[in-house]
Amino acid sequence: MISEKMEAAINKQIKDEMYSSNLYLSMVAYFENLGLKGFANWMRVQVQEENAHAMGLFDYLISRDGRVVLETIDKPPFEWSSPLECFEAVYRHEQLVTSLINELVDVAEEVKDRAAISFLQWYIKEQVEEEANCSEICAKLKLIGSDANALLLIDQELGARTYVAPVIA
């Protein structure tokens, strides 16, 4: 049985992961409207990943005899001034998610929930990858500046990304 405090913290994180999914879906629409299908594809993969992250927490909570309580998800922004500004927003958001995961681990440590601590290690490692990926794309976008040809090359590169369902254990 999971503690009430841990249950509440995981429910909040489910909401936060679903917000991330909606944020990235909003970014899909932004990039589709710009005609940058590769960027949109990258964001579509993010949507799938965030949904998987939320479902991992959802399933974990159920496996611990916890109760899933879905909370209201805020409306994400839908407009950015450039692909760089959008990816900088992604990077900041992933840094926020990292801090939220760290807070979740803090709760698990506080209530001495070793099973949750073990489970959350996957999310900690995932956030390191998420931040690194976003940082790399931001760096490329800064490097190219306003070079439209280079932007199209990055678009082509991002279009090759495929979704691989994570094994959250």
Q: Please report whether residue 124 resides in a domain.
A: yes
CATH code for the domain of 56: 1.20.1260.10
Please give the pLDDT value at position 133: 97
What number is the average pLDDT over the span 21-42?
98
Q: Please report whether residue 27 resides in a domain.
A: yes
The closest of 10, 122, 123 to 66, measured between CA atoms, is 10
d(CA 110, CA 160): 42
Q: Please report whether residue 164 resides in a domain.
A: no
Does pLDDT of 110 surpass 80?
Answer: yes
Provide the domain limits for residue 99.
4-159
Average pLDDT, the chain: 98
Q: Please report whether residue 166 resides in a domain.
A: no
Q: Please report whether residue 64 resides in a domain.
A: yes
Q: Cβ neighbours of residue 137 under 8 Å, at least 6 residues apart?
A: 42, 87, 90, 154, 158
Q: What is the pLDDT of residues 124-139, one digit of tens each?
A: 999 999 999 999 999 9
Helices 83-110 & 37-63 angle (0-180, nearest 10): 10
What number is the average pLDDT over the span 20-39?
98
Classify the C-alpha dihedral 58-26-104-132 as positive or negative. Answer: positive
Please give the pLDDT value at position 159: 98
What number is the average pLDDT over the span 76-102?
98
Q: Please report whether residue 125 resides in a domain.
A: yes
What number is the average pLDDT over the span 35-44?
98
Banded pLDDT at 53 (limits 50, 70, 90): very high
pTM of the predicted model as reported, rounded to 2 decimal places: 0.96
Please give the pLDDT value at position 96: 98
Does pLDDT of 169 surpass 90?
Answer: no
Q: What is the pLDDT of residues 111-126, one digit of tens each?
A: 999 999 999 999 999 9
d(CA 49, CA 3): 27
The domain total for the chain is: 1
Q: Please report whether residue 169 resides in a domain.
A: no
d(CA 113, CA 78): 38
What number is the average pLDDT over the span 105-114?
98
d(CA 61, CA 86): 33
**Phi then psi dihedrals of residue 161, to 5 deg:** -70, 135
